[in-house]
Amino acid sequence: MSKKEKKVEPSIEEKNQEVTEKLDEKLGEDTTLTPELTRINELEEELEKVKKDVEQERDSLLRKSADMDNYRKRLIREKESAVQYANERLINDLIPVLDDFDRAIDAAKTKDFAGYVDGVKIIRSQLLDILERNWGLKAMNDIVGTEFSPHEHEAMMMETSDQFETETVLAELQKGYYLHTKVLRHAKVKVGKPS
């Protein structure tokens, strides 16, 4: 035999290729599985899309949760700061009064008692003016002789007599104060009660 007449045996790769092609042809002819495979592929794609959507929503939710947590922490810090410095204006108003008290103490060393008392009265007046003008504090004045009111007065002592027609304030034992229109501290009083 000549070289040309020799049969060349196909290689293993060629045989595998032939088998694969035949299988593909057979599978292509079998149409009973194709709709199911198509549906499975569609469902897998849909599942992947849903997984991505869920992951995006999860990330978004985590970011929003972190934002809310940061916002809550910022509000707490701002509230703490507001509480800590809430009285700053009041303190600034009271510092000059403290300065006047220091001057009054220095004046007490001069042995001028009348001048010292006048200085303390001026400081008291200055303090009340600041508290009334800037802060809404108002003293309950001229209550002796008025009708007793449990909303404004606290009875510390009672005196019964025929000379009273109604419960009447006889003496002011401790001054009462309003904060704007609200009673801040009740005046402690002695009350005359009809018998």
Checking if the pLDDT of 12 tops 90, the result is: no
Structure confidence at residue 19 (pLDDT):
73
Structure confidence at residue 107 (pLDDT):
82
What gap in Å lies between CA 186 and CA 125, rounded to an integer?
21
- Mean pLDDT for 156-173 is 93
Q: What CATH architecture is 138-195?
A: Roll (2.30)
More confident residue, 78 or 110: 78
Structure confidence at residue 41 (pLDDT):
86
Checking if the pLDDT of 1 tops 50, the result is: no
- Mean pLDDT for 164-189 is 95
More confident residue, 35 or 64: 64
For the question of whether the overall pTM of this predicted structure is more than 0.75, the answer is no
Question: What are the extents of the domains in the chain?
Answer: 35-86, 87-135, 138-195
